[in-house]
Structure 1
Amino acid sequence: MTPETRPRDFALVALGGVLWGTGGLAGAALADTAGLPPLTVAAYRLLGGGGVLLVGLAAAGALRGLARTRPVVRRVVQTAVLAAVYQAAYFAAVQRAGVAVATLVALGAAPLLVAVGTAVSARRLPSPRTLVALGLALTGLVLLVGPSEAAGPGTAAGALLALVAAAAFATMTGLNRRSVPGLGPLPLTATSFTLGGILLLPVAALAGPGLALPVGVEGWVLLAYLAVVPTAAAYSAYFTGLRHVPATTAALLALLEPLTATVGAVVLRDERLGVAGVLGATLLAAAVVVLRPRRAGSPTMDAPGRAAGHLSRSDAARARSANMSGVVRASDPREGPAPR
C-alpha cells in the first residue's frame, strides 16, 4: 500500500535535507580549524550523532521497549552498513575526482536510482509531477555545482565511487520506507549510526594518518554540531517523514542539501554565486514546490489518481453492490480485497 503524503512528513524530509546542507559548512570549517581528514570526520559524525541519540533515548527510558527481534536487528545492521558505505564512498570520491564530480554523481544519481527502482517494483512509471521535478532538480543541481575541473586520472574511479555512494543512499531510502515493528525512527537512527561509526573507525584509521582528535574548543564545538544537527536531528527527521513520503520524492528533497550549503556559503563565507548558480538554485526550489502535497492527505506523487489501497466512490459503490449480490468479480483489476 502506498501511504498518503502529509505536509508534516514532507516538511520533515525537507528539513533533513536543509540540515544536511549546514553540515557541509561545519565540515569545511572543521577541516580548516582542526585539520581532520574527511573520512575521520565522517566516522566521528556517525558515531557522535548515533551516540547522542542513544544517550538521550536511554535517559528518557525510550530504549526499554526496544524490540530485539531478528527483523529489528537486521534493519539496524543494514542501515548501519549502508550509512557507512555512503560516507566512505562519497569522501573517497571527493578525494579522487573533486567535489563537483562527486556531488553531481552521488546526489544526482540517487533520485534517479530510486525512481527506477520504484518504477520496476510498482510496475508503473512515476507520475508526471515526479518526472517534472526530477528534470528541474537534476538540471538545477548541474547548474548549481557548476562545471568540474578538467578530468584527471582519478576522475573515472571517483565517479564510480560516487555512484556507489548514490546506490547506498538510494537503497537506504528505499529500505526504510517501510517500518519494522518495534523499531521507531529515533531508535533506528541511534543504533544504526552508532554501529556505522564504529564500522568506519578502522577504515578511517587505515586510510589516513590516524584517528586524530580536534584541537581547541572551536574544533570540538564544530564536531558536536556535526553530530547533533546535520546527523542526529537531520536523519531522525528524514527517517520519520520517510514513512509517509514516496522514496523518489524523499531522494529529490535530499537535493536541498547542496542548495542550503550554497546559500550558507554565500551568506557566511562570502562566496559568490554566478548567474548559472542562481538559476540552478531557483530550479531546485521549483522542484520542491512541484513536489509539495497540495493539501493534507493528498495522494502521493508516485501514485497518480488516488493513493493505493483507497477506493474511489464509484469503486466503493461497485464493491458494496458485489457484496450484496454475492458476486465476486476477482478478474476485475479495479476491485481488490475488502479493506480491513
Structure 2
Amino acid sequence: MDTIIASPEDILSSMEANMRWVALTAVAPVAWGANYFVTHEFLPPDRPLYGAALRALPAGLVLLGLCRQRPHGAWWWRSAVLGLLNVSVFFVLVYAASQLLPTSIASTVMAVSPLAMMLIAWALVSERPGLAHLAGAAIGLGGVCLMLLTGAGGVSVPGILASAAAMLVSSFGYILTKRWNTGADVLASTAWQLTAGGLFLLPVAAAVEGPPPALSTPALLACGYVTLVATALAFAAWFTGLRHLPAGTVGLVGLLNPVTGVLLGTAVAGEVLTVQQVCGLALVLAGVVLGRPTRAGRRSRSQTPLQPLPDEHPARESSTCHPR
C-alpha cells in the first residue's frame, strides 16, 4: 500500500487533540496537590481510615448518580480489585507515609511513579517507553528532588516503605485500569472503583476508629472539596487520560502534584519560594513537556485516518455517561 506524508493540517490537528487530553489529565495532579494542604489544614489528623472512606464513598456515589450504570460481567470483580488497589490501600498508605515522613521525602518517593508506570505499562499493556518519556521522567524526578529535598527532618524506614508501597500499588492499579477499561465507560468504571474502595474501608474504619468524627463547618467544606474535586473529578480526569494517552505521558503529568503543593504553600501558607525550588520547578515542567505525546507523520492514500504511534491507545468509545 502506498503511503504519503500526512499534511501539516492533519499533524497539527492531532497534536492539538493530544494536548487537550494532557490538559484534562493535569486536572488530577493539580487537585491532588491542593488536597494535601486542605487535608492538613482542615480535616482531623487522627482518623485516616474514616478520612479515606469518607473521601472515596461519597465521590463514587456522586458519579454513580450521574451515570446510573451498574457493573456488568467481569466488572463486578474488576471494580473490587481496582477499588482495593487505587482507593483503599493507596489512600491508607499515603496517610501513613505523610505521618511518618517529612513531606519532602514522601513526595520525592512518590515522584518515582512515572518510571514505575512506564515499566508496568510495558509489561501489562505492551507500551514500550520511548527515549523521550524516559528522559522526561529522569529530568522531572531531578526537578522534584531539587524542589523538595532540603535535608531537614529524619527518615523513618517504615515511612519509606509505606511511601514506596503506595507508589507501587497505585502505579500497578492505574495500569491495570488502563488495560481493563477498554469497552467500559470511564466515568462509570471510576464510580465503581471509588464505591468499592469506600465500602471496603467503611467497616474497617468503624471497627478500628469507632464512631465517625464530628466535623466543623470548615471541615465539612473541606470534605466537599476532597470528595467532589480531589476525588470524583480528579480520578475521572486521570483515568480518562490513561485511556487516551500513553502511560508514560500520564505519569509525567503527575509530577505537577508536588509542583502544585509548593506553589500553593507559597501563595497561601506564606512559604518562601527559593531559587533552588524555582530551578526544580523549571526542570519538572521541562520533563512534562519532553514526554508529551507525538503522532506519526504517515498515512495511506486510502481513506484510512492518521494512525497513532504504537504507544498510544485512543478511546474506543465515548467517556460520557448515558443513563439507562
- Which TM class, normalised by the smaller chain length? 0.7 to 0.9
In 2, Cα distance between equivalents of 1:171 and 1:179: 12
Name the SS of the counterpart of 1:6 in structure 2. Answer: helix
The answer (yes or no) to whether the contact 1:101–1:148 under 8 Å persists in 2 is no
Q: How does 1:124-163 map to 2 (within 5 A)?
A: 126-151=129-154, 155-163=156-164
Alignment-mate amino acid for residue 165 of structure 1: A
**Shift in Å, 1:202:** 3.8
**Alignment partner, residue 274 of structure 1:** 274
User: How many positions carry a matched residue from both structures?
Assistant: 288
The answer (yes or no) to whether the contact 1:97–1:156 under 8 Å persists in 2 is no
**Alignment partner, residue 233 of structure 1:** 233
Identify if the C-alpha distance between structure 1 residues 309 and 119 changes in structure 2 by more than 3 Å, giving closer, same or farther: closer
CA offset digits 1:301-334 (Å, max 9, x no partner): xxxx971299xxxxxxxxxxxxxxxxxxxxxxxx
In 2, Cα distance between equivalents of 1:159 and 1:173: 21
Q: Find the partner of 1:307 among 306, 309, 320.
A: 309
Q: Find the partner of 1:63 among 52, 64, 68.
A: 68
- Residue segments in structure 2 that go unaligned for 5+ positions in a row: 1-14, 298-306, 313-324
**Shift in Å, 1:126:** 2.5
Q: How does 1:250-289 map to 2 (within 5 A)?
A: 250-289=250-289
**Shift in Å, 1:25:** 2.0
**Shift in Å, 1:292:** 2.4
Name the SS of the counterpart of 1:177 in structure 2. Answer: helix
Identify if the C-alpha distance between structure 1 residues 258 and 209 changes in structure 2 by more than 3 Å, giving closer, same or farther: farther
Q: How does 1:114-133 map to 2 (within 5 A)?
A: 114-120=117-123, 126-133=129-136
Identify if the C-alpha distance between structure 1 residues 123 and 27 changes in structure 2 by more than 3 Å, giving closer, same or farther: closer
In 1, Cα distance between equivalents of 2:280 and 2:237: 25
Q: Taking structure 1 as the reference length, what is the TM-score of the superposition?
A: 0.76
- Residue segments in structure 1 that go unaligned for 5+ positions in a row: 300-304, 311-340
**Shift in Å, 1:224:** 0.8
**Alignment partner, residue 51 of structure 2:** 41
**Shift in Å, 1:268:** 1.5
**Shift in Å, 1:291:** 2.0
Identify if the C-alpha distance between structure 1 residues 68 and 139 changes in structure 2 by more than 3 Å, giving closer, same or farther: same
**Shift in Å, 1:10:** 1.9
Identify if the C-alpha distance between structure 1 residues 84 and 255 changes in structure 2 by more than 3 Å, giving closer, same or farther: same
Task: Pick the structure with greater CA Rg.
Answer: 1
**Alignment partner, residue 184 of structure 2:** 183
**Shift in Å, 1:84:** 1.1
Stretch of structure 1 that moved more, 116-125 or 6-15: 116-125
In 1, Cα distance between equivalents of 2:172 and 2:204: 22
**Shift in Å, 1:247:** 1.3
In 1, Cα distance between equivalents of 2:250 and 2:133: 11
**Shift in Å, 1:161:** 1.2
CA offset digits 1:219-252 (Å, max 9, x no partner): 1111011100011001101111211211122122
Q: Share of identical aligned residues, percent?
A: 29
**Shift in Å, 1:181:** 5.5
The answer (yes or no) to whether the contact 1:36–1:212 under 8 Å persists in 2 is no
The answer (yes or no) to whether the contact 1:265–1:271 under 8 Å persists in 2 is yes
Identify if the C-alpha distance between structure 1 residues 52 and 67 changes in structure 2 by more than 3 Å, giving closer, same or farther: closer
**Alignment partner, residue 214 of structure 2:** 213
In 2, Cα distance between equivalents of 1:41 and 1:275: 36
Alignment-mate amino acid for residue 98 of structure 1: P
Alignment-mate amino acid for residue 24 of structure 1: Y
Q: Taking structure 2 as the reference length, what is the TM-score of the superposition?
A: 0.79
CA offset digits 1:30-66 (Å, max 9, x no partner): 23xx5553443222111222122222x1xxxx325x4
**Shift in Å, 1:151:** 3.2
Identify if the C-alpha distance between structure 1 residues 30 and 150 changes in structure 2 by more than 3 Å, giving closer, same or farther: closer
CA offset digits 1:59-98 (Å, max 9, x no partner): xxx325x4511x2112211210012111111111222233
**Alignment partner, residue 53 of structure 1:** 63
The answer (yes or no) to whether the contact 1:90–1:165 under 8 Å persists in 2 is yes
Identify if the C-alpha distance between structure 1 residues 172 and 151 changes in structure 2 by more than 3 Å, giving closer, same or farther: same
Identify if the C-alpha distance between structure 1 residues 39 and 275 changes in structure 2 by more than 3 Å, giving closer, same or farther: farther
**Alignment partner, residue 335 of structure 1:** none
In 2, Cα distance between equivalents of 1:182 and 1:67: 12
**Alignment partner, residue 28 of structure 1:** 40
The answer (yes or no) to whether the contact 1:6–1:298 under 8 Å persists in 2 is no
In 2, Cα distance between equivalents of 1:201 and 1:208: 10
Alignment-mate amino acid for residue 78 of structure 1: V
Q: Find the partner of 2:81 among 74, 78, 82.
A: 78
In 2, Cα distance between equivalents of 1:243 and 1:235: 12
Q: Find the partner of 1:96 among 97, 100, 108.
A: 100
